[in-house]
A = this chain, B = another copy of it.
Amino acid sequence: MVNMHPQLQELKKLLHEIDDLGSAGSLLSWDQTTYMPPGGAAARGRQLATLTKLAHEKFTAPVIGKLLAAARAENEDEDALLRVTRRDYERAIKIPVAFAAQLSEHQSQTYELWTKARPANDFASVRPALEKTLDLSRQLADFFPGYNHIADPLIDAADYGMKAATIRQVFGELRAQLVPIVKAITAQPVADESCLRQHFPEAAQLAFGQLVIRQFGFDFQRGRQDKTHHPFMTKFSLGDVRITTRVKENDLGEALFSTLHEAGHALYEQGIDPGYEGTPLAGGTSAGVHESQSRTWENLVGRSRAFWEFFYPQLQATFPTQLKPVPLATFYRAINKVERSLIRTDADEVTYNLHVMLRFDFELQLLEGKLAVKDLPDAWHARYESDLGLRAPDDRDGVLQDVHWYGGIIGGVFQGYTLGNILSAQFFEAAPHDIAGGNFKALHDWLRENIYRHGRKFTADELLQRATGQPMTIEPYVRYLRKKYGELYRL
């Protein structure tokens, strides 16, 4: 700080305040979905809107622009701080304050509607709100004229540098590889997952999940886990990174794999250079890279044979009556069962991307005006029939299944999941990925060194080039799937 350029110092002070407002908003959201009683909902929406509005007002104030123009960096980190903050600022000043507040309040209200609409299987009750979300999403995109595709500005906000056209092409290539694999596997008998469908008491499930993520390196002095409806990771500071999960006592996979998944997100955030605290550098660099880390710890690690060779005896000791009679090979096949299914979050690694791709296509069609919200439930059913050969019995497990559109915007929301899968395999292949004996240190160290600590200092492309020497490519991911599922299904 002693040698810091005075305008940069002043800028950092203001950025800290803006970050404080954002962190307070994150805590309000966390509380809304974990502990808040129903009576708090109306005021909570207003409170979140106020915090969003104030943060946006403060970040788009002319003083920030002046300081950004005047500040000088003395080192590489300060240079990155100015670069990333300028990028965020140029984006933010295009969005009017009143619009940001309106969007935030609308999102809170829509989320509350969705929490009631989904169990009631009542798409009609949330449809007008979703129509407004689409309208607001279009307005948001239109604050960034000059795009090739109306989704581009929304995609860019989540996955900087990505465009609808690029993603369409990558997804097309991946789809061409996936469809024959899915076809070959689903021609065989479905794996028996009855061992996962016994009764597993909640407390023991949570304790086992926490034991695993502690071994991954999740720091419970700087984080915690709570229960919620739809699992997520959130951060209030680099010293307070929280994950949430949900538990089904008749499904061992539900809490466990969501815990490993969210812990992957949290390891990323906990691993960021503490010197970035309270600035725009203190976050994941893109939705895709963030998801690559959740998928790494959930799938590449958490559904691997090496992982369970180490942990399965401990799991059996936790649930002896349920799992002692079950051989490791049976359990391993069960947690890697591949089948055409209706719910994205429950989907296996192979079919998962088909779920994502159809949502991505819907986002583009909705934004383009080629699909109306009122036609979305039927379009959803039709696409599931054509892509996955299944039709949901209702909208609950159809168009109402994911929170994203109902608590966010339409556009730029789903591509990160499949980009994450692609990137996870690229990073993992380059990393020391032998985890035999439950030893995650070499992998965690490499990921922290090459990804986590940098926060937003490098873009996804830059990280990838630095860490693997390659641009984005689907080959490692396809290689990974072919090897693992080739062995499992003797393809």
Asked if A157 lies at the interface with its beta carbon under 8 angstroms from chain B, I say no
A239 and B39 form a contact (CB under 8 A)? yes
Give the contacts of A50-95 with B (CB-CB under 8 A). 50-51, 54
Q: Choose one: B17, B23, B47; the contact of A43 (CB below 8 Å).
A: B23
Give the contacts of A209-235 with B (CB-CB under 8 A). 219-224, 226
Interface segment, A28-36, A111-119, A348-356, A458-466?
A28-36
User: Known contacts being A42-B239, A43-B236, A278-B46, is A220 close to B37, with CB within 8 Å?
Assistant: yes
Give the one of A50, A221, A222 with max B CB within 10 A. Answer: A50
When distances are taken between beta carbons in the complex, the residues of chain B under 8 Å from A162 are none
Q: From A220, which residue of chain B is reached at the shortest CB distance? A: B37
A16 vs B53: C-alpha distance when bound (angstroms)? 13
A219 vs B54: C-alpha distance when bound (angstroms)? 32
Asked if A27 lies at the interface with its beta carbon under 8 angstroms from chain B, I say yes
Number of residues from A at the complex interface, CB < 8 A: 39
Q: From A34, which residue of chain B is reached at the shortest CB distance? A: B35
Asked if A237 lies at the interface with its beta carbon under 8 angstroms from chain B, I say yes
Q: From A41, which residue of chain B is reached at the shortest CB distance? A: B239
Asked if A21 lies at the interface with its beta carbon under 8 angstroms from chain B, I say yes
Asked if A254 lies at the interface with its beta carbon under 8 angstroms from chain B, I say no
Q: Choose one: B31, B46, B50, B219; the contact of A39 (CB below 8 Å).
A: B219
A35 vs B242: C-alpha distance when bound (angstroms)? 10
A44 vs B17: C-alpha distance when bound (angstroms)? 12
Q: Choose one: B23, B39, B238; the contact of A240 (CB below 8 Å).
A: B39
A44 and B223 form a contact (CB under 8 A)? no
A42 vs B20: C-alpha distance when bound (angstroms)? 12
B50 and A21 form a contact (CB under 8 A)? yes
What are 7 sample pairs from A and B whose C-beta atoms fall under 8 A apart?
Answer: A20-B50, A21-B54, A37-B223, A39-B221, A39-B240, A44-B236, A47-B236
Q: A17-B50, A37-B240, A39-B222 are in contact. List 18 more A-B contacts (CB 8 A).
A: A16-B50, A20-B47, A24-B25, A24-B28, A24-B47, A24-B51, A27-B28, A37-B222, A38-B239, A39-B237, A40-B222, A40-B236, A40-B239, A41-B239, A43-B278, A46-B278, A47-B236, A47-B237
Closest A-B pairs by Cβ, 3 of them? A40-B240, A43-B237, A39-B239
Binding site for B on A (CB under 8 A): 16-17, 20-21, 23-25, 27-28, 31, 35-44, 46-47, 50-51, 54, 219-224, 226, 236-240, 277-278
